């Protein structure tokens, strides 16, 4: 049973009756709410319905044991709600893990003891300043501060927490409103292989096992992301038509089992044409793969999946393992040390160098054209300058006449 009491011009107290305690004392839960919508305040019936709805919601919270008085809710208590109702529900696996990592590693130890409504913009700015000092490191490396990418991720997580607090009407004002996003001034720029380095790469691949050749050739010639390579199955490849379809991705393994997801977005689900040389390598690899599959027999643990890059039991390799294989390879052959993901950048850069149309490149690698221009704009600028120079054949004769 509940009741509503008017408290001020536009505030009401919601009261939920919980009976009597062992001493016969009346037990109640109370919550004060404000109504700032002028249209609602001018419509008595609508206002009454709104307040009745809020009372029912409050009563359900009390009965379910989830209601906590806001002035008593700690930051840590709200974060638990944020994790269960948002992070675990709405975020992709990799993003969720990153959010939880930064929350538990630094944010909760710093703010966890504070009441949520006591955290002001000043406190958050103090925290961001603290992150810029070597004292914020907890990995033993006290000789240098955290990288700017870590600061930006902490900013992003805090913004998510306090935005949800406002959205869920736990807070009226967002203390992040006066906090500036840190500049990412030490982010490692993309590195790519040039024409000579690509030639050296493929020469080094000649004496490597087929599975490694295929892994690196696909990374360079298709621009697949690491998770897309890890999630690639034979059923996604039509060797007769020379087409590869990107349908699944494996961002990580959890407790030894692959986390198999659909493409990152609609553009990520795409068909990619394969070159004749890559098709030939894939045909050789498929033949070897099938022979190994027949030898495994009852030890197969891959189920209905047939991943290209898998352990002998059929389970896909952890994406981290693909990175490790790449690092071992480029170190072995003394190639320029770039990330596995930079082979994707190399793929795009090569296509730009060969003057393939930007829309065709974007479709091939699963980018929007505008996003690709943001990432590879400096390369497109050089191509555009070269395109401009072609007009010299027209302009120079004209200027001579003038």
For the chain, which residues make up each domain, given as ranges? 2-67, 72-178, 195-386
| Tokens representing residue 289 in the block | 């793969």
Categorize the per-residue pLDDT at 245 as very low, low, confident or very high, splitting at 50, 70 and 90: very high
CB 348 within 8 A of CB 377: no
What is the structure's pLDDT at 400?
A: 53
- CA nearest neighbour of 225 among 261, 244, 249: 249
What is the structure's pLDDT at 184?
A: 74
Q: Residue 92 above 70 pLDDT?
A: yes
What is the structure's pLDDT at 377?
A: 66
Lowest mean pLDDT of 52-61, 279-288, 299-308, name the range.
52-61
Ramachandran class of 334: left when φ > 0, alpha when ψ lies in -120 to 50, beta otherwise: left
CA separation, residue 382 to residues 221, 239, 325, 352 (Å): 22, 36, 33, 10
371 vs 349: CA distance, rounded Å: 15
Q: pLDDT, tens digit, for every residue of 340-366?
A: 999 999 998 888 888 888 888 889 988
Q: Residue 120 above 90 pLDDT?
A: yes
User: Strand pairing partners for 13?
Assistant: 5, 32
Structure-model confidence comparison of residues 399 and 21, the more confident one: 21
Average pLDDT, integer, range 311-340: 93
Q: pLDDT, tens digit, for every residue of 211-223?
A: 999 999 999 999 9
Q: pLDDT, tens digit, for every residue of 7-33?
A: 888 899 998 887 776 677 787 888 888
Structure-model confidence comparison of residues 186 and 230, the more confident one: 230
Residue 18 DSSP symbol: E
What is the structure's pLDDT at 139?
A: 72
User: Strand pairing partners for 33?
Assistant: 12
* CATH 1.10.150.130 is held by the domain 72-178: yes
Percent of the chain whose pLDDT exceeds 70: 88
Structure-model confidence comparison of residues 308 and 369, the more confident one: 308
Categorize the per-residue pLDDT at 65 as very low, low, confident or very high, splitting at 50, 70 and 90: low
Percent of the chain whose pLDDT exceeds 90: 44
Protein fold of 195-386: hpI Integrase; Chain A (1.10.443)
Structure-model confidence comparison of residues 2 and 374, the more confident one: 2
User: Strand pairing partners for 74?
Assistant: 115
**Phi, psi dihedrals of residue 352, rounded to the nearest 5°:** -65, -45
- CA nearest neighbour of 264 among 366, 124, 354: 366
CB 270 within 8 A of CB 361: no
Categorize the per-residue pLDDT at 396 as very low, low, confident or very high, splitting at 50, 70 and 90: low
Structure-model confidence comparison of residues 22 and 262, the more confident one: 262
Categorize the per-residue pLDDT at 281 as very low, low, confident or very high, splitting at 50, 70 and 90: very high
- CA nearest neighbour of 170 among 212, 120, 117, 223: 117
Q: pLDDT, tens digit, for every residue of 125-171?
A: 999 999 988 888 877 676 778 888 899 999 999 999 999 998 887 88
CA separation, residue 321 to residues 209, 229, 310, 317, 330 (Å): 16, 12, 10, 6, 14
What is the structure's pLDDT at 247?
A: 92
Average pLDDT, integer, range 180-208: 86
- DSSP conformation letters of 50-116: HHHHHHHHHHHHHHHT----GGG-BHHHHHHHHIIIIIHHHS-HHHHHHHHHHIIIIIHHHHTTSBG
């Amino acid at each position: 049973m509940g009741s509503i009491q008017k408290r001020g011009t536009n505030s009401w107290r919601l009261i939920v009756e919980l009976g009597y305690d062992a001493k016969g004392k009346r037990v109640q839960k109370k919550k004060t709410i404000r109504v700032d919508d002028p249209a609602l305040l001018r419509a008595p019936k609508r206002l009454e319905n709104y307040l009745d709805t809020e009372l029912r919601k409050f009563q359900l919270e009390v009965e379910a044991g989830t209601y906590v008085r806001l002035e008593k809710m700690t930051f840590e208590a709200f974060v638990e709600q944020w994790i269960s109702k948002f992070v675990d529900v709405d975020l992709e696996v990799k993003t969720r893990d990153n959010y939880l990592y930064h929350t538990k590693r630094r944010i909760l130890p710093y703010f966890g003891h504070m009441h949520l409504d006591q955290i002001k913009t000043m406190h958050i700015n103090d925290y961001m300043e603290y992150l810029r000092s070597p004292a914020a490191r907890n990995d033993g490396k006290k000789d240098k501060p955290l990288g700017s990418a870590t600061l930006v991720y902490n900013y992003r997580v805090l913004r998510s927490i306090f935005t949800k607090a406002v959205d869920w009407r736990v807070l009226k004002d967002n203390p992040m409103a006066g906090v500036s996003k840190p500049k990412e001034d030490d982010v490692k720029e993309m590195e790519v292989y040039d024409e000579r380095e690509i030639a050296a790469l493929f020469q080094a691949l000649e004496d490597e096992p087929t599975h490694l050749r295929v892994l690196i050739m696909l990374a360079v010639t298709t621009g697949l992301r690491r998770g897309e390579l890890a999630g690639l199955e034979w059923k996604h490849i039509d060797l007769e038509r020379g087409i590869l379809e990107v349908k699944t991705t494996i961002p990580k393994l959890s407790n030894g089992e692959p986390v198999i997801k659909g493409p990152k977005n609609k553009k990520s689900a795409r068909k990619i044409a394969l070159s004749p040389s890559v098709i030939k390598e894939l045909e050789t690899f498929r033949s070897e793969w099938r022979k190994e599959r027949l030898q495994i027999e009852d030890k197969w643990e891959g189920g209905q999946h047939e991943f290209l890059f898998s352990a002998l039991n059929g389970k896909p390799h952890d994406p981290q393992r693909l990175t490790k294989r790449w690092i071992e390879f480029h170190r072995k052959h003394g190639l320029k040390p770039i990330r596995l993901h930079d082979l994707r950048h190399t793929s795009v850069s090569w296509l730009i160098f060969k003057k393939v149309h930007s829309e065709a490149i974007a479709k091939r690698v699963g980018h929007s054209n505008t996003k690709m221009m943001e990432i590879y704009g400096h390369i497109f600028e050089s191509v555009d300058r070269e395109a401009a120079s072609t007009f010299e054949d027209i302009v120079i004769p004209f200027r001579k006449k003038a």
